[in-house]
């Protein structure tokens, strides 16, 4: 069984689209858990309407850990609330994960945009390096698939990390199990964070954060401002 865990805060604009994508999947042996961080909109109501389990969450790391506490699956798929999935996503992902005997996996990302430059930038600065350095550079954003027992060995996500807890999680996971990038499908993601902070500013933040983690380890200080919440009118 697959447990899909979604940390969320005020996601009424995006969550229905993700849940609708999951509803259309050919693979049906899953449960969905939404870890709600005290949303002030209809996030929890929407989750319950779609038949999801709900738990009290917090920032993404805490939300994922809280979701795991009630999860019944032997595989966990952690998804951000603004992701979208192809209709055959679960089927292809689980097949490749099993065939390659992976323990933890991440995905290439395709920005939701009619413009060409976001896709080019994503490929140059994330997707191509992710694939090329797969065996030496375990990274993840937006989505992570992991075996239950490896998650337990990692003792979950480190809730003290301020930024990049998903990167650190798969990097540590790759030391205990086999990491891979799923190649047969992709994740579609919104550009709302780039629209809010700007491409250059956010790109520099990610680059400096990567350098800091390489030299000093996980970011447990407030050196970067991180916002989990988004106003209702911010859409991609």
Does 126 reside within a domain? Answer: yes
Q: pLDDT at residue 89 above 60?
A: yes
Q: pLDDT at residue 27 above 90?
A: yes
pLDDT band of 234, cuts 50, 70, 90? very low
In angstroms, the Cα distances linking 218 to 136, 144, 158 are 17, 18, 9
Read off the pLDDT of residues 141-185 as tens digits, 9 standing for 90 and up.
Answer: 999 999 999 999 999 999 999 888 999 999 999 999 999 999 999
Q: pLDDT at residue 226 above 70?
A: no
DSSP 88-151: THHHHHHHHHHHTT-SEEEEEEEE--SSSHHHHHHIIIIIHHHHHTTTT----SSEEEEEHHHH
Task: Please tell me the total count of domains within the chain.
Answer: 1
Does 125 reside within a domain? Answer: yes
Instruction: Identify the domain containing residue 87 by its residue range.
Output: 2-216
Does 131 reside within a domain? Answer: yes
Does 19 reside within a domain? Answer: yes
Does 236 reside within a domain? Answer: no
CATH number assigned to the domain comprising residue 153: 3.90.550.10
pLDDT band of 230, cuts 50, 70, 90? low
Distance between CA 23 and CA 51 in Å, rounded?
A: 10
Read off the pLDDT of residues 28-44 as tens digits, 9 standing for 90 and up.
Answer: 999 999 999 999 999 99
Task: Record the pTM.
Answer: 0.91
Does 153 reside within a domain? Answer: yes
Nearest CA to 144 out of 99, 176, 97, 95 is that of 97
Q: Is 19 helix (H, G, I), strand (E, B) or coil?
A: helix
pLDDT of amino acid 200: 75
């Amino acid at each position: 069984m697959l447990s899909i865990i979604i940390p969320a805060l005020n996601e009424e604009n995006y969550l229905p689209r993700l849940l609708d994508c999951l509803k259309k999947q050919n693979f049906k042996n899953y449960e969905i858990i939404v870890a709600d961080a005290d949303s002030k909109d209809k996030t929890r109501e929407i989750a319950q309407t779609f038949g999801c389990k709900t738990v009290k969450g917090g920032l993404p790391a805490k939300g994922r850990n809280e979701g795991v506490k009630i999860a019944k699956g032997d595989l966990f798929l952690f998804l951000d609330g603004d992701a979208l999935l192809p209709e055959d996503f679960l089927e292809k992902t689980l097949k490749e994960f099993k065939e390659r005997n992976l323990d933890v996996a991440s995905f290439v990302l395709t920005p939701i945009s009619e413009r060409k430059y976001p896709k080019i930038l994503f490929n140059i600065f994330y997707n191509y390096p992710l694939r090329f350095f797969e065996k030496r550079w375990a990274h993840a954003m937006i989505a992570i698939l992991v075996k239950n027992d490896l998650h337990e060995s990692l003792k979950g996500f480190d809730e003290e990390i301020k930024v990049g807890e998903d990167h650190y999680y798969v990097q540590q996971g790759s030391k205990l199990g086999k990491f891979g990038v799923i190649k047969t499908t992709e994740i579609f993601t919104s550009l709302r964070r780039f629209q809010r902070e700007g491409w250059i500013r956010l790109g520099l933040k990610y680059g400096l954060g990567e350098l800091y983690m390489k030299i000093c380890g996980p970011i447990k200080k407030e050196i970067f401002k991180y916002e989990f919440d988004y106003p209702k009118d911010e859409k991609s």
